[in-house]
Amino acid sequence: MRRRRLTALLLVLAALAAIVVWVTQRGGDPSGPVRATPTTSGGGSSVPPQEGGSAVGGTNVYAHDGAGMLSDAVKGDLYRVYVPNSDDSSVDVIDPTTRKVVDHFAVGRNPQHVVPSWDLQTLYVTNDKGNSLTPIDPRTGKPGQTIPVDDPYNLYFTPDGSRAIVVAEARQDLDFRDPHTFALRHRLHVACAGVDHMDFSADGSYLIASCEFSGRMVKIDVAQERVLGYLQVGGKPQDVKVEPAGKVFYVADMTKGGLHEIDGDSFTEIGFLPTGPEAHGLYPSRDARFLYVSNRGGRTNKGSISVVDFATRQVVATWHIPGGGTPDMGGVSPDGKELWLAGRRSRVVYAFDTTTGALLAKVPVGPGPHGACVWPQPGRYSIGHTGNMR
């Protein structure tokens, strides 16, 4: 009997010791964050079906996008903000350290966004009405030879890097193309006007895209390149961003002034979060705790930035621009300390302090600045837009 009791006691003590070791390795908190290991990949490895752990131990699609987690593929790139000026077909290049324009060059007609390639080697200016892409070498900041491509309003890449998706807004097409030559492989027509922004599920099996002029969303099977369904949300849906857990997709709506919350798997709207007039661009913080929402300001041009807590799905702060402004699209600095956004109707680019929300700079640029790209960005590969990284 005593021997049995002694054996049971030893088993209990061993279990307690194991728990203590586990908690210590987690930083003293069983529910605390698991630190992601910075990647050193050049972006050529295959993509795992699931992303790394989140702050609650589950999926975090942004696990590799943390502050300073730069791939070796971008470590020689110039630190710049590339600003497409839609109204005069040019690009301004800003040095974020001096907050001054250091270069300016012409591109094709009506440039909309500056988009990093999947392999992080090239930035592409999408010249919508010029029917072309202008490549930029991020090591020199200089443009290259124009590539003919039909109606490239926006540009994305499948998470495995096998295909580029050119968003042909005017034609209502999603063109699946070679990610290097941009040769057309398959043209998918969608029954919703104004298709323009998208994001992918955590496993990359489907994408959800917004259709601005029809108030609809469309869900696409990525492997089969076919439509799975449509969802009517009304308003003018814009940028799309999936939460770190990969379940809820946030969709900015310009006319409704807030975010549609869509369950990606069931493709149903589960909520709506008001933010501000002309909600437009969506950018996760480097620690994947917050979503920065650019509210372009409506008729009064009194734009703002709403800070949404991913965990509570609530607005926890609003940053106002002194004197008003029209913040649109851009990105977060590699260290996560600054948010850079083009001022669509203001001919400036804004820099905000992400800790305090203070406006740090207003850099004058050309007319109609739109989808600015802060580069380099942390991450293993790009899935497009102005720097949607994984």
Query: Which of 6-10, 71-75, 311-315, 365-369 is predicted with the least confidence, judged by mean pLDDT?
Result: 6-10
Locus of tokens 């920065």: 292
Is residue 2 helix, strand or coil? helix
Q: Which fold has domain 72-375?
A: Methylamine Dehydrogenase; Chain H (2.130.10)
For the stretch 265-291, pLDDT in tens is 999 999 999 999 999 999 999 999 999
| Percent of the residues in the chain that have a pLDDT greater than 90, as a whole number | 85
At 119 the pLDDT is 98
Residue 317 pLDDT > 60, yes or no?
Answer: yes
Average pLDDT over residues 59-82: 96
pLDDT of residue 19: 37
* Amino acid symbol at 216: R
* Three-state secondary structure call for residue 38: coil
For tokens 């990647």, name the residue: 39
Give the confidence band of 155 by pLDDT, cuts at 50, 70, 90. Answer: very high
> In DSSP terms, which residues pair with 116 in a beta bridge?
123
On whether the CB atoms of residues 228 and 186 are closer than 8 A, the answer is no
Task: With a cut of 90, say whether residue 48 has pLDDT above it.
Answer: no
- 93's enclosing H/E stretch is strand 90-95
pLDDT for residue 41 is more than 70: no
Q: Is the dihedral of CA 378, 384, 387, 390 positive or negative?
A: negative
Residues contacting 266, CB < 8 A, separation 6+? none
pLDDT at 172: 98
More confident residue, 33 or 275: 275
Q: Are 359 and 373 in contact (CB under 8 A)?
A: no
What is the spatial distance between Cα 15 and Cα 253, in angstroms, rounded to a whole number? 52
Structure confidence at residue 24 (pLDDT): 34
pLDDT of res. 142: 98
Q: Which residues pair with 226 in a beta bridge?
A: 221
Give buried/exposed letters for 71-91 (b at 16+ CB in 10 A, else e).
Answer: bebbeebbbbbbbbbbeebbb
Task: Give yes or no for a contact between 125 and 116, defined as CB atoms under 8 angstroms apart.
Answer: no
Phi and psi at residue 10, in whole multiples of 5°? -65, -40
Is the Cβ–Cβ distance between 167 and 174 less than 8 Å? yes
Give the burial string for 205-218 (b: 16+ CB within 10 Å, else e).
ebbbbbbbebbbbb
Instruction: Kindly state the tokens that stand for 58.
Output: 């589950």
- On the question of pLDDT at 47 being above 50, the answer is no
Q: What is the mean pLDDT of residues 168-187?
A: 98
Using one digit for the tens of pLDDT, what is the confidence trace for 110-133? 999 999 999 999 999 999 999 999
Q: Which long-range contacts link 28-34 to residues 24+ away (Cβ below 8 Å)?
A: 31/56, 31/57
User: Strand, helix or coil at 179?
Assistant: coil
Parse the chain into domains and list their residue ranges. 72-375
Strands across the sheet containing 304-309 = 279-284, 290-295, 304-309, 314-320
pLDDT for 3: 42
Mean pLDDT, the chain, rounded, equals: 89
Does residue 6 carry a pLDDT above 70?
no
Span 196-245, pLDDT tens digits: 999 999 999 999 999 999 999 999 999 999 999 999 999 999 999 999 99
At 58, the pLDDT band (50, 70, 90 cuts) reads confident
**What pLDDT score does 188 carry?**
98
The pLDDT confidence band at residue 36, using thresholds 50, 70 and 90, is very low
Sheet strand arrangement including 258-263: 237-242, 248-253, 258-263, 268-274
Q: Regarding predicted confidence, which is higher, 54 or 105? A: 105
Is 70 exceeded by the pLDDT of residue 9? Answer: no
Residue 95 confidence (pLDDT) above 70: yes
Quote the percentage of the chain above a pLDDT of 70.
85
Count of alpha carbons within 13 Å of 29, Cβ hemisphere only? Answer: 8
| pLDDT value of position 37 | 28
Q: Which residue has the higher pLDDT, 354 or 41?
A: 354
Beta strands (DSSP E) in 233-336 are 237-242, 248-253, 258-263, 268-274, 279-284, 290-295, 304-309, 314-320, 327-332
Residue 101 has pLDDT above 50, yes or no: yes
For 283-314, how does the pLDDT look when each residue is reduced to its tens digit (9 = 90+)?
Answer: 999 999 999 999 999 999 999 999 999 999 99
Could you tell me if 216 and 192 are in contact, meaning their C-beta atoms sit under 8 angstroms apart? yes
pLDDT at 378: 98
Asked whether the beta carbons of 338 and 292 are under 8 A apart, the reply is no
Whether the pLDDT of residue 388 is over 80: the answer is yes
For residue 287 the two structure tokens come to 């620690």
Per-residue pLDDT at 29: 31
